[in-house]
Structure 1
Amino acid sequence: MPRSLVVLLVVAVVLVGGLFLLAGRSSEKPLTHVEKVVTLANLQG
């Protein structure tokens, strides 16, 4: 195989791996839903 083709393949693999790494790292934790008890007096204002 030509040397330039090997270099091109290595660069492509590194780029794709980097994209997957960034995509996996940037995923945020899902927000937890918190239910809060509200008295009727607070709603009437």
Structure 2
Amino acid sequence: MKAFSKFLLILVLLTLGGAGVFLATWDIPAPTAPVTKKISDDRFPR
């Protein structure tokens, strides 16, 4: 049982490390569609 626990711990650590490397090196594309929002004048007191 101790060997299985050690194997499982190593597998979890490798998975987390791989996920971290993937997220650190992933080139996420910037959004290409313009975003427009209409803000009413009532939100800004004079």
TM-score by length of structure 2 reads 0.55
Number of positions where the alignment pairs a residue of Structure 1 with one of Structure 2: 30
Q: Quick check: which has more Rg, 1 or 2?
A: 1
Deviations 1:4-42 (A, max 9, x none): 0000000000000000000000045x7xxxxxxxxxxxx
Q: Percent identity?
A: 17
TM-score by length of structure 1 reads 0.56
**What's the C-alpha RMSD, in Å, of the aligned pairs?**
2.2
Stretches of structure 1 lacking an aligned partner (at least 5 in a row):
31-45
1:33 is matched with none
